Amino acid sequence: MKRWLSLLSLLMLMVLAGAGCGSNHEQTEATEPVQLTISAAASLQDAVEELKTIYTRDNPRVIITYNFGSSGTLQKQIEQGAPADLFISAGQAQMNALAEKGLIIEGTRKDLVANDLVLITGQNSSLADFGELTGAQVGKISIGVPESVPAGKYAQEALANLGLWEDIQTKLVLAKDVRQVLTYVETGNVDAGLVYRSDALMGKHIKEVATAPEASHQPILYPMAIIKDSQNQTAARAFASFLDGKEAGQVFTKYGFKALEN
């Protein structure tokens, strides 16, 4: 009888030990960090860096890595297989291209925020409006490469609709992204540039001269979507939901973006 009781006790200990191991395994899995790679338009950098700090404070197991660049460059990277969980573009064309190739998850695409296109100069410039860009006081004007930088495409549209595009061709200095345009103006390498208002707010030693009329270019919207090849779709959905929330909206507004009605 004592032998059977000993065997029974041993079996019970083994079962409890096995259950404990299973619990520890589940706990380990639950606390493993999740790596999220976010490909985001360069103009979003300041706002989303702050949002990363807020999000990871409440979600410490989520490690967010940003890949900033022009929307066209990021689009090409994703098409070529570069790792990305979420894409936030500064233009619809780049997101449309990924959608047409089946590279984003249907139903996850949403316009996140909007922006304005503004003309900026150095602080000491006497430039007063878009019409003066053709004058002798302006030698160089920077915009993003229209084929790959949405801000450059909007600038081209605006300048064309204002009747200025053909007259300023010899003055154009094309930049790889909108932040480079801002840098060119800040450093005095060009006399004027067209950037988003959110970039102008972050600029140093520059001033905002004028806002391009909304009717002069396509609406400036920032669509986001989860990439189909993402290995962390649940975490990506959670972060996208946070970006589309009220708290994130307040941060975007602080950095010069315009909130959209949900």
Q: 175-217: per-residue pLDDT in tens?
A: 999 999 999 999 999 999 999 999 999 999 999 999 999 999 9
In the numeric block, which tokens belong to residue 71? 């929307």
The span from the CA of 256 to the CA of 27, in Å, is: 42
Query: Which strands form 141-144's sheet, in the order they lie side by side?
Result: 172-175, 141-144, 192-196, 117-122, 206-211
In the numeric block, which tokens belong to residue 171? 């003055």
Query: Which strands form 86-88's sheet, in the order they lie side by side?
Result: 62-69, 34-41, 86-88, 221-226, 110-114, 258-259
| For the chain, percent of residues with pLDDT exceeding 90 | 87
Residue 26 has pLDDT above 90, yes or no: no
- The model's confidence at residue 16, banded by pLDDT at 50, 70 and 90, is very low
pTM, entire model: 0.83
Position 262 scores a pLDDT of 60
Specify whether the CB–CB gap between 115 and 200 falls below 8 A: no
Residues in the chain: 262
Mean pLDDT computed over 37-55: 97
Q: What is the DSSP string of 206-262?
A: EEEEEE--GGGS---EEEEEEBTT-S-HHHHHHHHHHHTSHHHHHHHHHTT-EE---
Q: Which residues contact 23 (CB under 8 A, 6 or more apart)?
A: none
DSSP state of 203: -
Specify whether the CB–CB gap between 105 and 224 falls below 8 A: no
Smallest Cα–Cα separation from 145: which of 180, 98, 113, 196? 180
What backbone phi and psi angles, to 5 degrees, belong to 256?
Answer: 95, 0
pLDDT tens digits, 73-117: 999 999 999 999 999 999 999 999 999 999 999 999 999 999 999
Task: Count other Cβ atoms within 10 Å, centred on residue 63.
Answer: 14
Q: Is the dihedral of CA 40, 44, 46, 52 positive or negative?
A: negative
Intra-chain end-to-end CA distance of the chain, in Å: 72
Domains of the chain: 35-114+220-259 (3.40.190.10), 117-216 (3.40.190.10)
pLDDT tens digits, 217-262: 999 999 999 999 999 999 999 999 999 999 999 999 999 999 997 6
